[in-house]
Amino acid sequence: MPIIRLLLTLQPLLFGLGFLAPLAAQIITRAGLTPPFGLTPVLAGLVIGGTLGAVANLRGSWI
């Protein structure tokens, strides 16, 4: 039961890393943009998705 509770509390972060990160990476690639600091599109997507997920997790809301 504690594992399920942990997964549910981290759900926004997991969504950010599992869905938003690949989506951001694909958008960066398709748009022909170059991520800053020499990052690959995947790493840039992980930074974007992880940040959005962490903010949503801390705030308790996506909005």
In this prediction, residue 1 carries a pLDDT of 80
Report how far residue 57's alpha carbon sits from residue 53's, in angstroms, rounded to the nearest whole number. Answer: 6
Question: What is residue 7's predicted lDDT score, i.e. its pLDDT?
Answer: 86
Backbone angles phi, psi at 4, to 5 degrees: -65, -40
- Cα gap 13→29, rounded to integer Å: 23
Q: What confidence category does residue 63 fall into, taking pLDDT thresholds of 50, 70 and 90?
A: confident
Banded model confidence at residue 36, pLDDT cuts 50, 70, 90 = very high
- Whether the full predicted model's pTM is greater than 0.95, yes or no, is no
